[in-house]
Amino acid sequence: MVSLLQRTRKLQTLLAIKLGPGAAILPKDISRIHMRFAQRNDGGHMGPRKFWRHELVRLKFHNPAIPMTIDRTCAPSDPAIMTIHYAPTDAIQTSSSPTSSPAPSSSTSGDTAASDYTPTTRSESILMTNKSSAEIWREVARVTRAVQVEATPEEKETLEKLQEQRLKSERDSALSREVREAKKREQDLLAQARGDMSAAAA
């Protein structure tokens, strides 16, 4: 049987993906998002890497039909760039809706799209070098006009309960630490008293 702690952790993980920076619905004319940054954080590539691990995960969760590809083969001295591709109006299908089947998400070795991607009529680039993940997301939201996903009343209530549980856990941990420290001090004092008595008897 799954414990309460395990269920709580799974719920926290799910809400962390569903809500927060990057949790947004993209317009239907966006056909692909491509990120190019270095493997290492040097040269101002830390922000793009964090964006990939957090904000892009939320964006993909809410837009499963839009391919989001990554190229991490560039050198740290190269600029970190995100390219947003737009599809021609006649190529926009219902399959691009947020509830459609997930599109493949892959790592690529270049900017060339695979043959099964929706054709691109235009693209816009965002320079990510030396920007934090929060700054990158604000720029993405501005360029794409993405619609932020807000928490439902039930999710807000759950978040409040999880916050209360976290605070209670921190208080309990602090109390347990104080009890352990007090017990250790008592044991040290008893050990010292026994040592003094042994020395006096000798």
Q: How many CA atoms lie within 13 A of 134 on its CB side?
A: 1
More confident residue, 26 or 179: 26
* Exposed e or buried b per residue across 10-35, where buried means at least 16 C-beta atoms within 10 angstroms of its C-beta: eeeeebebebbbbbbebebbbbbbbb
What is the rounded CA–CA span in Å between residue 113 and residue 119?
A: 9
pLDDT in tens, 130-140: 999 999 999 99
Q: How far apart are CA 121 and CA 178, in angstroms?
A: 64
pLDDT band for position 86 (cuts 50, 70, 90): very high
Q: pLDDT tens digits, residue range 58-81?
A: 999 999 999 999 999 999 999 999
pLDDT value at 8 more than 50 = yes
Alpha helices, H only, the chain:
4-18, 46-53, 55-62, 133-144, 153-201
At 33, give phi and psi (nearest 5°).
-125, 130
Residue 13 is encoded by which pair of tokens? 């993980």
Q: What's the pLDDT tens digit per position in 14-51?
A: 777 888 899 999 999 999 999 999 988 888 999 999 99
User: Which amino acid is it at 45?
Assistant: H
